[in-house]
Amino acid sequence: MMHTATDKRQTREVFESATEGKPYDLFVLRHGERRLVGRKTEAAYPDPGSGQRLKSCLVEEDMLLGVVEHEEISEEGVTVHYRPLSPEQRRAAFAAAVQDRLSDLSYPYAPLTRGRPVTSTAPAGWMFTPERARLLDHQEIVLRAAAAQWLARSGIVSGTAYDAACSTGAFLAAAGAAVPGLRTVGQDLSAEMTGHAAKVLDEVHHGDSIRPGVPPGSADVVFCRHLNIFVVDQDHARDLFLAAAGACRLGGRIVVLGHTPVLLPSAWFEELGLHVEQRTGATPSGHALFQFYVLRKDRPVGPEAAATRS
């Protein structure tokens, strides 16, 4: 990454080359009228007091670089010109974003991974091993806590919660524990994962979530944790989301999150006609932000909408 002063205003540039850079580490945080650019590095996980740092979904204050002024995308990579923030400005901007659940954290350059594999999921899904299960569950500590807190605020006390890529089942089981009236239904591409998840969920389906295991419009809450870089590419993420959205009832909620960058932007969800109730979540200490989309489905979307019109 290079920083080069370009004029008297001290506008700088971030250059991420296709060979040496990682465009998926560049994020944009929009709060109010300002778009701030930053670069994701290792963050305190799950809390500053733990002393542990991981490169995950978490974004911290000191990762912010400045206010976006211009962006360029070429075959060489990504260039973002930005106006640097002082430490005081950075602190104030981050604190304001933490307090606003509609602040928008996105990774617009994540798909620009020429020469790098972006789809890491094996055709039969992830193989289950005790160590992999432990790692997956640990990486989602923050996300499980955020989902439980959201459920407590949502007023949801019963119904069906469907996880389109349930992996070990730990995430959805935690949601069920937070709201005992929820029926937990998971699905996963991996037969080994579903075998493990069946021990902790009410119902489990084995298969590709492009064909949801629950009836259309039957779920009160749909969790999507599989629309992320290193899991699928952007086109596949759109298809998988539309399939999952079809499983959600009208008036229900779709929650999109993950421990790597979510590939789908808030603007696309809005274009589909979904009401965006929340875009980000924060750790209990407020030291870090992460993507946490809560979408209310008030009308059919995608293929559903087309079928309704016909």
> Other CB atoms closer than 10 Å to residue 130's CB: what's the count?
8
Average pLDDT score, the chain: 88
User: Are the CB atoms for 81 and 67 separated by under 8 Å?
Assistant: no
pTM value surpassing 0.85: yes
Amino acid residing at 227: L
User: Are the CB atoms for 42 and 53 separated by under 8 Å?
Assistant: yes
Does position 74 have pLDDT exceeding 80, yes or no? no
| Least confident residue range of 70-79, 151-160, 293-302 | 70-79
CATH superfamily of 130-309: Vaccinia Virus protein VP39 (3.40.50.150)
pLDDT band at 176 (very low <50, low <70, confident <90, very high): very high
What is the reported pLDDT for 11?
A: 63
pLDDT in tens, 111-142: 776 444 444 555 555 566 778 777 778 889 99
pLDDT in tens, 227-251: 998 888 899 999 999 999 999 999 9
Per-domain boundaries in the chain: 12-106, 130-309
Residue 274 to residue 270: CA distance in whole angstroms: 5
Amino acid residing at 283: T
- If you write DSSP's letter for every residue of 186-213 in order, what string do you get? EEES-HHHHHHHTTTSSEEEES-TTS-S
